[in-house]
């Protein structure tokens, strides 16, 4: 009898736990509609998708990167390009061990690789955000790029404003944009070596002294140092 009672009570306990568990936020019907339209157009080119802060976030295969831009503009009326950029998911190296030689930013830096909404397949990703000024929705697209040969197709023929965004991304992250009409430096000298926004780019200011520049300062009037001097 005891065994029968335990077997009967177990499902009831599981049901009660399920009822008590807090429900997640209801999906935004506008975002759900956008995701459904993208699914219909891009199909299995979509690797993963999600909703984040009222926008659709869609990760597409690298070979569908420009196709995603065309669908966004022609089918979903996304007439405004906010930005194109990249991200390096590698944790930032810490000089001098766990305390990073006094680097006050080091406690908030991750020590393991973690990925954002819609995931990633490696260290580097290109992402872009577009909006529809008539439909009032936004989409963030992401795609993975190869670490040893990072490149993606240019969006300039779809969104001419992508020109400067892609040049900055190439300059700062080293990601080439195929078919870009004039991929050249925006900020750095033409002979500059390296890509400053990569996590492994050496920031000499952090090596020379703790960043963001912790220094010894004189005591303010009325503080301990002033009291020891006798107030004269």
| CA-based end-to-end distance of the chain | 89
Question: Is 212 a member of any domain?
Answer: no
Q: What is the pTM of this model?
A: 0.73
pLDDT more than 70, % of the chain: 69
Question: Is 111 a member of any domain?
Answer: yes
The count of other CB atoms within 10 Å of the CB of residue 200 is 11
Break the chain down into helix, strand, coil percent, rounded to 5.
35, 20, 45
Question: Is 9 a member of any domain?
Answer: no
Q: How high is the pLDDT of residue 123? A: 95
Question: Is 214 a member of any domain?
Answer: no
What is the number of structural domains in the chain?
1
Question: Is 121 a member of any domain?
Answer: yes
- pLDDT tens, residue by residue, 123-180: 999 999 999 999 999 999 999 999 999 999 999 999 999 999 999 999 999 999 999 9
CATH no. for residue 149?
3.30.460.80
DSSP letter at 24 equals: P
Question: What integer best gives the mean pLDDT of the chain?
Answer: 82
Q: How high is the pLDDT of residue 113? A: 84
Question: Is 180 a member of any domain?
Answer: yes
Range of the domain at 192: 24-199
């Amino acid at each position: 009898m005891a065994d029968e009672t335990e077997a009967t009570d177990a499902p009831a306990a599981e049901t009660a736990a399920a009822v008590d568990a807090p429900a997640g936020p209801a999906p935004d019907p506008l975002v759900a509609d956008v995701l459904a339209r993208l699914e219909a157009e891009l199909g299995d080119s979509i690797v993963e998708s999600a909703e984040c802060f009222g926008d659709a976030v869609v990760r597409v295969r690298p070979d569908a990167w420009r196709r995603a831009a065309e669908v966004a503009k022609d089918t979903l009326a996304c007439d405004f390009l906010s930005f194109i950029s990249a991200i390096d998911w590698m944790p930032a190296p810490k000089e001098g061990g766990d305390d990073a030689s006094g680097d006050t930013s080091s406690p908030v830096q991750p020590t393991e690789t973690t990925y954002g909404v819609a995931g990633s397949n490696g260290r580097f990703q290109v992402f872009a955000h577009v909006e529809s000024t008539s439909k009032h929705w936004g989409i963030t697209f992401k795609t993975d790029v190869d670490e040893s040969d990072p490149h993606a197709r240019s969006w300039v023929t779809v969104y001419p404003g992508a020109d400067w965004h892609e040049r900055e991304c190439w300059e700062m992250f080293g990601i080439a944009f195929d078919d870009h009409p004039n991929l050249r430096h925006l900020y750095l000298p033409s002979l500059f070596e390296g890509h400053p926004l990569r996590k492994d780019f050496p920031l000499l200011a952090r090596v020379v002294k703790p960043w963001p520049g912790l220094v010894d300062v004189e005591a303010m009037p009325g503080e301990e140092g002033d009291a020891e001097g006798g107030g004269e």
